[in-house]
Structure 1
Amino acid sequence: MSKDIRRKTRKCYSTEDKIRVVLARLRGEDSIAELCRQEGILQGLHYSRSNEFLEAGKKRLVGDTAR
């Protein structure tokens, strides 16, 4: 039952929101702690999203040079 409540109250972030937060950190506007507090996300989640973002960029660049 508690999982159902958690699922209903969990905020869903769009892809654009996730990218916006990762790019804000890369620009160095705020510390990771402050940015996560403002966005209401855990720092671990931010690091996971950042790593996914950077890995996707690497894969895309490798694909571009292989053409």
Structure 2
Amino acid sequence: MRKNPVATKAPAEQVVKDIRRAMRKLHSSEEKIRIVLSGLRGEDSIAELCRKEGIAQSLYYSWSKDFLEAGKKRLAGDTARQASTGEV
């Protein structure tokens, strides 16, 4: 009698999810700014830039949107921020 393949599949799927989660690259804010500015320069297409950097195009566009929104707030004079404990 064969075991149910669904019952043995669940732990394997969890292992794959754990491996993918551990392999995610965390980009620093400086790297994000560099990538977005490179895309705004327009020297390469966004698809080519994302392929070189190893990121999804949707991730690039969300970073770009965040970057431009932050700039818009800064230019509007909305510079209020919370002081960190090191600054106090």
Aligned-partner SS, 2:44: coil
1:2-41 C-alpha deviation (Å, 9 max, x unpaired)? 3321221111111111000000011111100000000000
Higher relative contact order (CA 8 A, sep 6+): 1
Unmatched runs of 5 consecutive residues or more in structure 1 = none
Residue 41 of structure 1 corresponds to 55
Please, what is the CA RMSD of the aligned residues?
Answer: 1.1
Q: Which runs of 4+ in 1 moved over 3 A?
A: none
Q: Which has the higher helix share?
A: 1
Q: Give the count of matched residue pairs.
A: 64
Q: Mapping of 1:5-44 within 5 angstroms?
A: 5-44=19-58
Choose 1 or 2 for highest CA Rg: 2
> Alignment identity in percent?
70
